[in-house]
Structure 1
Amino acid sequence: MVKDSSPDILIITETRIGGDRAKEITDRLPFDGAIHTDTIGYADGLWILWNSVTVEVTHLASIEQEIHAMVKVDNSNISWLLSIVYASPRFRGKYVLWNNLEIVVANHNLPGVMMKDFNDILKGAKKFGVDL
């Protein structure tokens, strides 16, 4: 996919790989910038990869379920906020996430893009199992 599309930014979610192993893998890909989140066991994992020749990415904050960065395309004077979210299915994790999102938005008055999986169900009829 990377060879065919040549993206300047690549976002990968649910990697299930963090730490040194994530770095080993992303170092072999054709990107010279990377931000990884830690995984929780074999769950979660977010990566942002980019080519610094065309895109400037400034890491603002991250935890297991979110990465926030400021992005500036080199031929533009416009910076924007990029937030990647893979939310915990548990209420406590969602509470932390929503607080963090409020803080990031309040501290950075920028246009933004949010790529997300909030692990929420839109209709109660689609739900199976128990509340966590």
Structure 2
Amino acid sequence: MRKPSKRRRPNLVRWLRDIIPPDEPPSLELSIPPGLRVTTPRRSLCVVCKGSKMLCGKRSCPIAARIKAYLRSKAPEVGVEVDGSSPPSVFVGRYGYPYVNVSPLTPPVHGDTSLYDMPELWFGMGFEEIA
């Protein structure tokens, strides 16, 4: 049995080069971002397929869709002004009671955002439309 290497290698995801646009900042280095957790079951076809052959039988790769959605999202800017269309909703955190985080739910788009606040209308929509 071979000894494990003591060298730490970055968790590079080379097959994502086709998914990540070329104008992405070089700091990404095609590694899994710390805030993103992607897991697959043991002996899964995802390890073999890597989003190209659709061996799982799904129409689109859920891992690739999650990476794309993560890359589309921007880090929130902390400030005192809120800009954006919003359904009349508020996010209330659950950790640290009675001192919980509260913020308005503002999507990163302007216009009619009522669909974000009505999950009952999501039925029949594809995964990529919702994400």
Per the normalisation by structure 2, the TM-score is: 0.23
Pick the structure with more strand per residue.
1
RCO higher in structure (CA 8 A, sep ≥6): 1
Per the normalisation by structure 1, the TM-score is: 0.23
Larger Cα-atom Rg: 2
